[in-house]
Each structure stands twice: as C-alpha cells, then as structure tokens.
Amino acid sequence: MLEELAAQAFRSIGAEHERVDTSRHPTMHKTKTIDYIILLEGDVTLLLDDDEVKLQPFDVVVQRGTNHAWINNGSEPALLIAVLIDANIKE
C-alpha cells in the first residue's frame, strides 16, 4: 500500500521518473541536482542506498544525485529548507 501511495505522490507532481530504485523504501528517489538541505525542526533520518543518517535540527546535508528518502521519525511534521541546483548529471 505504501508503494502505491508513494508512486501516486510522485506521479502527481510529474516526478515518477525520479524513482529509480525503491527496493529499500518506497519514497527513494534520485534527482539530477545538487541539493543543500537544512533540518530546521523535527526528527528526520536521511535514508541512502547503503546507509542512513539521523539528523538533528540545523544539520546541513549536501548531496549530488544520490538515491535517497526522507523519514520523519517524529509525531509532528518536520521543517526542512532545501535549495536544489541543476547539476547536469550524466547517466
């Protein structure tokens, strides 16, 4: 059920092509951008293909074209700020 909800969510924003390998988690996705993300509030884990990183408020993540998902571990919404820059990543 979560797989279909994730597929539908990505489809609704025209991003179904970003879901390349969802074997670890249904919301895993990979973008062709350099991402700068700051966790402002909440309890979030960045899930990667072979690792996971538990974030604390004001942690900064810089990633370039990695397959990833964001997991909210808390009972409240998390607040993140993100800047995504086209990385012109070649497949």
Maximum CA extent, the chain: 38
Q: Where are the beta strands (DSSP E) in 11-89?
A: 33-41, 44-48, 52-55, 60-64, 68-72, 79-86
Residue 67, in any domain of the structure: yes
The pTM for the full model equals 0.78
Residue 52, in any domain of the structure: yes
Quick check: 91 pLDDT over 70?
no
Quick check: 89 pLDDT over 70?
no
Residue 38, in any domain of the structure: yes
pLDDT tens for each residue of 16-46? 777 787 788 888 888 888 999 999 999 999 9
Residue 91, in any domain of the structure: no
Indicate the number of domains in the chain: 1
CATH of the domain at 81: 2.60.120.10
Burial-class residue 90 by CB neighbours within 10 Å (0-12, 13-18, 19+). exposed
Structural domain of 58: 2-86
Residue 43, in any domain of the structure: yes
Burial-class residue 24 by CB neighbours within 10 Å (0-12, 13-18, 19+). middle
Residue 68, in any domain of the structure: yes
Residue 36, in any domain of the structure: yes
